[in-house]
Amino acid sequence: MSAKDDFIANIQKFSEGLNIMSETDSDLTPFVWNFPTEQAFEKDNILKFLEKPLDEKFQLVEFDKFFAFYIKIKKDDDEETIEMAENFKKFKHKLTELLTDIKIFKVGEIEIDLYIVGKNVFKNEYAGLQAFVVET
């Protein structure tokens, strides 16, 4: 099994059934990127890699802050909501086992590509998950 298959198979077990909430709930799609690991993993290089204009809206999202919304359990939450929060906690933990230097960023305005990306611990490459969200 290749490193790509290892990452995708491992993360799919934990991301299956999880949706990123927006005006359109979106599944998380795992990927392995051929982003040059010798390049700085920063806005301009990422936008070039994604073939987006350099003035495209680009927003970094702090890892724990991003997940706080999904893993928070309130006392009046129903069983399904609690189960989803627990699944997001497991997913968050698995990400930290499979990836290092994790960054979460949004590209675009209103119709946004959301990326959770880090260095794959199986191989010197970037891997992560992508979702499409709509925020008005």
Counted domains in the chain: 1
Amino acid 37: pLDDT: 84
Provide the residue range defining the domain that includes 97. 3-134
The b-or-e profile of 6-22 (16+ CB within 10 A means b, else e) is: bbbebbeebbeebebeb
Please tell me the distance from the alpha carbon of residue 128 to that of residue 29, in angstroms, as a whole number.
8
Assign residue 46 the CATH number of its domain. 3.40.1460.10
> Would you tell me how many other CB atoms lie within 10 Å of the CB of residue 62?
10
Q: pLDDT digits over 47-106, tens only?
A: 999 999 999 999 999 999 999 999 999 999 999 999 999 999 999 999 999 999 999 999
pLDDT band at 21 (very low <50, low <70, confident <90, very high): confident
